[in-house]
């Protein structure tokens, strides 16, 4: 099985992006993706990774609270997502990746979760460190079918979140304390989005999520 993972620069995969490849190293072959030509290979699944904020212009707003915006990366990942949908392969969006899926399907984002009263420090650590908090997974969702738990602990490092879910997407999870959207999905399109970082959170939940996602590719 071959899984494509988006990164800012496939020629220099480093830092926290290495976690994605380590997460999959025992279960699948991985391919770093950052340019349109990279998508010429045959892939069985696509992971849209975390990173900087999307350009708010893409969902009709001015950039007021966004950070580390890259139009080049946005353009590429929108293209990669469209290609994956056309090929009908499973898609997993992590953190930024989940937000990108939402915007692709014409949803919107909170540029900072404190805009609706959420507790930013519950989700964003200092000096790049993750925060740990509890999430409620909604029953009758694909995510629940995979994880088989209603309340889980997750790690996160973000200040943006889904505001209005995109067309055909449904919410699958919320943060327990302040109702930040933590999961979105479209089971028919085999799309899963999570706001946390399972690739750097060694837990039974992370393992279940990865295996469940890959099983979607095997069932194509």
Catalytic (active-site) positions: 95, 197, 199
Burial 56-91 (b: 16+ CB within 10 A, else e): bebbeeeeebbeeeeeebbebbbebbebbbeeebbb
Q: Could you give the CA distance from residue 21 to residue 24 in angstroms, rounded to a whole number?
A: 5
Rounded (5°) CA angle 103-96-146: 95
Q: DSSP string covering 154-189, please?
A: EEE--S-EESSPPTT-EEEEEETTT--EEEEEEGGG
End-to-end C-alpha distance for the chain, whole angstroms: 12
Chain Cα centroid distance, residue 157: 12
Sign of the dihedral defined by the CA atoms of residues 72, 68, 39, 41, in that order: positive
């Amino acid at each position: 099985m071959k899984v494509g993972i988006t990164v800012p620069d496939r020629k220099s995969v480093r830092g926290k992006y290495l976690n994605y490849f380590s997460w999959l190293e025992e279960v699948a072959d991985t391919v770093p993706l950052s340019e349109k030509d990279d998508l010429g290979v045959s892939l069985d699944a696509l992971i849209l990774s975390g990173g900087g904020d999307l350009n708010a212009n893409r969902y009709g707003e001015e950039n007021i609270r966004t950070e580390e915006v890259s139009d080049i990366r946005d353009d590429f990942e929108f293209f990669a997502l469209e290609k994956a949908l056309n090929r009908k392969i499973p898609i997993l969006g992590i953190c930024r990746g989940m937000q990108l899926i939402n915007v692709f399907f014409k949803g919107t984002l909170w540029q900072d979760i404190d805009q609706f009263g959420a507790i930013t420090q519950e989700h964003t650590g200092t000096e790049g460190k993750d925060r740990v908090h509890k999430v409620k997974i909604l029953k009758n969702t694909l995510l629940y079918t995979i994880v088989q738990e209603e309340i889980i602990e997750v790690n996160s490092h973000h200040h943006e979140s889904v505001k209005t879910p995109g067309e055909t997407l449904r919410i699958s999870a919320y943060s327990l304390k302040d109702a930040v959207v933590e999961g979105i999905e479209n089971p028919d399109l085999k799309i899963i989005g999570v706001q946390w970082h399972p690739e750097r959170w060694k837990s039974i939940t992370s393992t279940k999520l990865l295996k469940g996602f890959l099983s979607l590719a095997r069932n194509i």
